[in-house]
């Protein structure tokens, strides 16, 4: 895992490119949050919930580039258990989890984190670093999302 950490700086620009393209795509065609969802987003720490757009999809999109897929695989992202993905103010959620409040709340915590860290790039840099060391889902950003989601939605929430 340490060797992946050393390749991270060279692969980050490709991650940024992919994430920003996906965010733009979501913002262009997805729906905003309902009033209840916006209230949840604020509870999750989001400052500008009106900027969030959610695109419901059959399966979460994966980067086409092999090097990005390899990174994601090593880190454990995009596993079959992955049901949401926050890309700036754009959120992908799996359609079969549309009614699961906790899934959206979890991704909203990540949106709040990027706001707090002054941008998607600083957030991704830190988030991916933590996914390698200590490893997903043990990093502080992922743990914060899990703990806040449980605090908002109940102990059994993801």
Which positions lie near Zn ion, rule CB under 5 A? Answer: 142, 145
Residue 26 or 145 with smaller CB distance to Zn ion: 145
**Smallest separation, CB 52 to Zn ion (Å):** 15
Residue 115 or 142 with smaller CB distance to Zn ion: 142
**Smallest separation, CB 85 to Zn ion (Å):** 9
**Smallest separation, CB 120 to Zn ion (Å):** 14
Rounded to whole angstroms, how far apart are CA atoms 41 and 48?
9
H helices present in the chain, as ranges: 2-29, 35-43, 66-75, 101-116, 120-130, 140-153
Residue 23 or 142 with smaller CB distance to Zn ion: 142
Residue 59 or 140 with smaller CB distance to Zn ion: 140
DSSP state for residue 60 in the 8-state scheme: -
Cα–chain-centroid distance for residue 103? 11
**Smallest separation, CB 142 to Zn ion (Å):** 5
Of all residues in the shown chain, the one whose CB is closest to Zn ion is 145
Rounded to whole angstroms, how far apart are CA atoms 54 and 92?
6
Decide if 20 contacts 2 (C-beta within 8 A).
no
């Amino acid at each position: 895992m340490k060797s992946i950490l050393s390749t991270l700086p060279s692969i980050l620009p490709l991650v940024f490119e992919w994430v920003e393209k996906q965010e733009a795509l979501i913002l262009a065609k997805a729906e905003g949050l309902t009033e209840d969802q916006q209230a949840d987003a604020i509870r999750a720490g989001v400052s500008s919930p009106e900027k969030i757009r959610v695109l419901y999809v059959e399966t979460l999109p994966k980067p086409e580039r092999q090097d990005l897929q390899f990174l994601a695989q090593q880190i454990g992202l995009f596993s079959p258990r992955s049901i949401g993905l926050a890309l700036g103010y754009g959120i992908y959620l799996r359609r079969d989890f549309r009614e699961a409040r906790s899934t959206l709340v979890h991704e909203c915590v990540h949106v709040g984190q990027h706001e707090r860290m002054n941008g998607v790039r600083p957030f991704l840099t830190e988030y991916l670093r933590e996914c390698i060391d200590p490893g997903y889902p043990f990093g502080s950003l992922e743990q914060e999302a899990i703990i806040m989601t449980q605090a908002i939605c109940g102990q059994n929430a993801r």
